[in-house]
Amino acid sequence: MAKEYSEVVRLESTELSKYGYKQELDRTMNVWQLTAFGLNYMVPIAPAIIFGSLLSISGGTVALPYLLAGIAMLLTGISYSTMVKNFPLAGSVYNYVGRGCNVHLGFVSGWVLTLDYVLIPTVTSASAAYFAQQYFPSMPYWSLLAIFTLGIGLMNLFGIELLSKLGLWLLVAGEFIVWMTILVWAHAVQSNGVGTGSILSVEPLQFTNFSALATATSLAVFSFLGFDAITTLAEETKHPKRDIPRAIYWCVGIGTMTMVATGYVGMLVIPDWATHINNETWVATTLFQVTQMTGGQLITTIYTACFLTEMAVFNLVATAAGARLLYGMGRDSLIPKKIFASINKKWKTPHWNIIIIVTIEFVLGISANITALSNLVNYGALFGFAALNLSVIWLYYIKKKGSSLKENDEHLIKPKGWQHLRYLILPLLGFAVIAYVWVSMDRMALLIGTIWLILGVVFLAVKTKGFRQLPPELHQ
């Protein structure tokens, strides 16, 4: 086993050397650990965070926004799998867009994507602290937030191997509780006459208009942010070109099925949702109310405990992914290299990045509006996804440097026949869907996100002397 592992590290280190890098992170991840990482980032119980908001925005449906968001994520996932086979590097969208299309656009995409990877742990930390305070009302909010953020930060510092071992078991437990709860809801509807009284109904598919549905879909993307984080572990995966694409497809498929089922069955319980929609507490805790109506105190307690546990796991993997995005950008000297590309020699983790993210979590968790942060997270993710889809087309049709996707085949190819579907039509369709959802976002999120985008462009212009220079590392 040790000999096999050494050979894997040697081969992948050779791959990295082609880009001017050396192997610094520890390669331990396999396809199932990657899938667990992505799904734990997505969080099986994620609909509990935004269920009421989706219902309110769409005008009656939660299942349809999740289904449409899942289709959009699948199209983007295909583009991710294409790019990771071309560039098996840490840094995700930053590297894929930068090397597949243009290094300056790659930086801007990575810059905007920090709104996803760095801010999303703040949302989960604040949500967990808020729910925990319901059980420990004597403890101030800031102290619960501090316990949560510091605890997760320490676990991340100890390395990806610990995270991968915990992740698989926590995922199994989380998925079990979520599906158990869905079955409890369904049983109450069908057997006890709760809600619609039948599991076959059009009630969960009602919506105000297509504009409202598109806006709800843009928010539903929040629950899918995670499959893309798998790609940030390319340099910690034993066989990244093979296992990361497989993990992406498993992650999107399982996540979509779980969320659509939650959205459909949950709405069967509350066909009278319109009478509660002006109650902010009800909107924020809709699935808590649904579970209490159908499962009683025991099931509600189990569901709430699962929610808090999943928030912790979500925060754990989100912080890990964000730290590695910053690592990829820091290694190329686009942000201070001594800080962001520094690796702890004992634990093989980008420790300063983790500390920075944990600090941001705590500060923003106390002072910022969580709803606004959630919308900004989606801005960054959707911008990055759109740029990624276009980069696949650019790499294969403009630069003409795309490689074959066959295992261990690095020959450049000229797409022909059915290959146009993979390298042109699907990425173009993915871009169109993402772009439509992106412009349907909350207007304030679009404004603030665009200001952050402009700041990134200005920073890059100064860093590269008017886009005329590149860091030495990117001349590879």
Q: The tokens of 439 are what? A: 């412009």
Q: What is the domain range of residue 329?
A: 2-398+425-475
**pLDDT of 20 above 80:** no
Decide if 459 is inside a domain. Answer: yes
Alpha-carbon distance values, 310 to 23, 145, 259, 419 (Å): 32, 16, 15, 39
Decide if 77 is inside a domain. Answer: yes
pLDDT at site 59: 92
SS3 64: helix
pLDDT at site 17: 62
pLDDT at site 205: 92
What is the C-alpha separation between 361 and 372, in angstroms, rounded? 14
pTM, entire model: 0.77
For residue 433, the Cα-to-chain-centroid distance in whole angstroms is 18
Decide if 114 is inside a domain. Answer: yes
**pLDDT of 387 above 50:** yes
For 281-318, what is each residue's pLDDT tens digit? 788 778 888 888 898 888 878 887 877 777 777 777 77
**pLDDT of 62 above 90:** yes
What is the C-alpha separation between 465 and 410, in angstroms, rounded? 35
Write the Ramachandran bin of 14: left for phi over 0, alpha for psi from -120 to 50, otherwise beta: alpha
Nearest residue to 45 (alpha-carbon basis) of 227, 350, 305:
305
**Please, are residues 328 and 89 in contact by the beta-carbon 8 Å criterion?**
yes
For 65-104, what is each residue's pLDDT tens digit? 999 999 988 988 999 889 888 887 765 787 889 888 888 8
**pLDDT of 332 above 80:** no
More confident of the two residues 412 and 186: 186
**Please, are residues 383 and 109 in contact by the beta-carbon 8 Å criterion?**
yes
Lowest average pLDDT, out of 314-318, 353-357, 398-402, 437-441, goes to: 314-318
For 414-439, what is each residue's pLDDT tens digit? 898 889 999 999 999 999 988 887 88
What is the C-alpha separation between 299 and 183, in angstroms, rounded? 11
Decide if 417 is inside a domain. Answer: no
**CATH at residue 148:** 1.20.1740.10
**Please, are residues 386 and 135 in contact by the beta-carbon 8 Å criterion?**
no
Long-range contacts of range 16-20, CB-CB < 8 Å, 24 or more positions apart? 16/89, 16/235, 18/476, 19/87, 19/89, 19/476, 20/473, 20/476
pLDDT at site 5: 46
The stretch 51-72 carries a mean pLDDT of 91
Place of tokens 């997505």: 42
Reduced to 3 DSSP states, what percent helix, strand and coil does the chain have, rounded to the nearest 5? 75, 0, 25
Decide if 19 is inside a domain. Answer: yes
Q: What's the start-to-end Cα distance of the chain, in Å? A: 34
pLDDT at site 15: 60
Confidence of residue 21 (pLDDT cuts 50, 70, 90): low
Q: What burial class does residue 187 get, using C-beta atoms within 10 Å of its C-beta: 0-12 exposed, 13-18 middle, 19+ buried?
A: middle
Burial 342-374 (b: 16+ CB within 10 A, else e): bbeeebbbbbbbbebbbebbbebbeebebeebb
pLDDT, averaged across the chain? 81
**pLDDT of 64 above 90:** yes
| DSSP-assigned letter for residue 404 | P
**pLDDT of 221 above 50:** yes
* Domain total of the chain: 1
**Please, are residues 179 and 258 in contact by the beta-carbon 8 Å criterion?**
yes
**pLDDT of 141 above 80:** yes
Q: The tokens of 69 are what? A: 């968001």
The stretch 348-355 carries a mean pLDDT of 84
Q: How many residues in total does the chain contain?
A: 476
Decide if 416 is inside a domain. Answer: no
Nearest residue to 125 (alpha-carbon basis) of 367, 472, 454, 451:
367
**Please, are residues 248 and 77 in contact by the beta-carbon 8 Å criterion?**
yes
More confident of the two residues 414 and 472: 414
pLDDT at site 23: 66
**pLDDT of 373 above 80:** no
CB atoms near residue 336 (< 10 Å): 12
pLDDT at site 239: 82
426-439 and 63-86 helices cross at what angle (nearest 10)?
130
pLDDT at site 207: 92
Nearest residue to 78 (alpha-carbon basis) of 415, 438, 429, 437:
429
Decide if 408 is inside a domain. Answer: no
Alpha-carbon distance values, 403 to 41, 232, 277 (Å): 30, 20, 51
pLDDT at site 84: 86
Decide if 315 is inside a domain. Answer: yes
Highest averaged pLDDT of the listed ranges 66-75, 343-352, 406-415: 66-75
What is the C-alpha separation between 73 and 221, in angstroms, rounded? 8
